[in-house]
């Protein structure tokens, strides 16, 4: 019998179940959808910014912790990967993005087209941040939920939504 029941196998539920199971606590993970991360998590967008940007409220202080946590997750779970695809930023007026920050590079149209071949109207210049990453794949339909089950302390139990109560 499980010591803990976690409801929902999205990014939060999967993470909670994974970290509990990692500590040897028996967990049952309940999910009403057809697969983990099939709800809000599967439809969301997230981004790990490697350099530059405006970071209100101390978010910049968290950046390195977030990057380290995702690196740890990748090291612990071989099937979890963060796509480090980089990003491009540009504006209507060249002066808005004319000075790259640390870890950023100003590139021209040819390089932009090489990075984004399907971009219909590439700008003349953009700022390229190669260290930016997309963590969504890490919490796709497999992610930590599969690893939680692999730790054998957790079981994912599909559920069906019950009738609404009024």
Up-side HSE of residue 49: CA atoms within 13 Å toward CB?
A: 15
Residue 114 CB partners (closer than 8 Å, separation 6+): none
Nearest in space to 60 (alpha carbons), one of 68, 69, 75, 50: 50
Predicted structure pTM score: 0.62
The tokens for 12 are 């939060």
Spatial separation of the C-alpha atoms in residues 109 and 121, rounded to whole Å: 10
Q: What is the pLDDT along the chain (166 residues), one digit of tens a residue?
A: 678 999 988 888 888 988 898 898 989 888 888 877 777 877 777 777 766 666 666 677 787 888 888 888 888 887 777 888 888 888 876 555 567 888 889 999 999 999 999 999 999 999 898 888 877 666 554 555 555 554 444 455 555 555 554 4
């Amino acid at each position: 019998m499980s010591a803990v029941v976690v409801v929902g196998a999205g990014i939060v539920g999967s993470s909670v179940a994974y970290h509990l199971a990692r500590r040897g606590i028996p967990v049952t993970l309940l999910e009403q959808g057809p697969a983990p991360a099939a709800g809000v998590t599967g439809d969301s967008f997230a981004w790990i910014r490697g350099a530059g940007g405006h970071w209100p409220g101390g978010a910049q202080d968290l950046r390195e912790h977030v990057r380290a946590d995702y690196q740890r997750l990748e090291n612990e779970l071989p099937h979890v990967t963060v796509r480090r695809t980089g990003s491009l930023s540009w504006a209507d007026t060249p002066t808005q993005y004319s000075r790259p920050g640390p870890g950023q590079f100003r590139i021209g149209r040819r390089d932009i087209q090489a990075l984004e071949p399907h971009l219909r109207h590439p700008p003349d210049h953009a700022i390229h941040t190669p260290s930016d990453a997309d963590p969504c794949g890490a919490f796709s339909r497999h992610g930590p939920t599969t690893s939680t089950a692999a730790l054998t302390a957790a079981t994912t139990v599909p559920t069906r939504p019950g009738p609404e109560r009024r």
